[in-house]
Amino acid sequence: MRHPIRAAAAALLCCASPAFAATVQVQDPVPFSDSAYIADNIKAECRMGAQLATALGSNAAKFGNTIEFSGELGEQGRVLKLELVEAQSAGNAFSGHFKSATVRGVLLDDGQKVATVTARRVSRGGAFGGFKGSCDVLERVVTAIGSDLAEWLGNPTDNAKLGDF
């Protein structure tokens, strides 16, 4: 081999993982906070909690983590406790959308706090927003939040603010 050092460096880089890579437990669906002021129709009609969990799970591997979903979270290992604390659904397909959501979370390792995070995203509906329903846009918002959270899990910092802050 002509460049053994380059080959070794390339092998290390491709196999390197973030400092906090692990399996992380997450509740599916992510619940609405008891103290949140979220319209009942949003809670009843939109699949925000399930979509958030799906987006987090599908993006976590890019940052060296695996998400383990459960209906109830355990106390052992790494646990990310998330809750939807805000969701707004103003406007509509005809007048223009204004949707937002906020998620708050705490990352625990064997019951000890590692870091907290708050993630918020806002959308006006995006391309072809006039053809989308309110729940579609809200689910798109939490998909972006799930991606933000997956990246944060790769290197969690305390009191992190992600997305549109």
Task: In whole angstroms, give the CA distance from residue 72 to residue 135.
Answer: 25
Q: Is the pLDDT of residue 65 over 50?
A: yes
Percent of the chain with pLDDT over 90: 68
Domain span at 146: 19-85+103-120+135-163
Report yes or no on 63 lying in a domain.
yes
Task: In whole angstroms, give the CA distance from residue 150 to residue 58.
Answer: 9
Q: List pLDDT tens digits, range 88-116.
A: 988 766 666 689 999 999 999 999 999 99
Report yes or no on 61 lying in a domain.
yes
Report yes or no on 96 lying in a domain.
no
Report yes or no on 36 lying in a domain.
yes
Most confident of the ranges 8-12, 19-23, 135-139, 156-160: 156-160
Q: Is the pLDDT of residue 12 over 80?
A: no
Q: What is the mean pLDDT of residues 17-24?
A: 66
Between 30 and 10, name the one with better pLDDT.
30
Number of structural domains in the chain: 1
pTM, two decimal places: 0.83
pLDDT of the residue at 21: 63
Q: Is the pLDDT of residue 138 over 60?
A: yes
Between 81 and 17, name the one with better pLDDT.
81
Report yes or no on 24 lying in a domain.
yes
Residue 16 CB burial class (10 angstroms; 0-12, 13-18, ≥19): exposed
Return the bridge partners of 108, or none. 79, 113
Q: How far is CA 75 from CA 24, 49, 72, in A?
A: 11, 21, 10
Report yes or no on 79 lying in a domain.
yes
Report yes or no on 139 lying in a domain.
yes
pLDDT of the residue at 151: 98
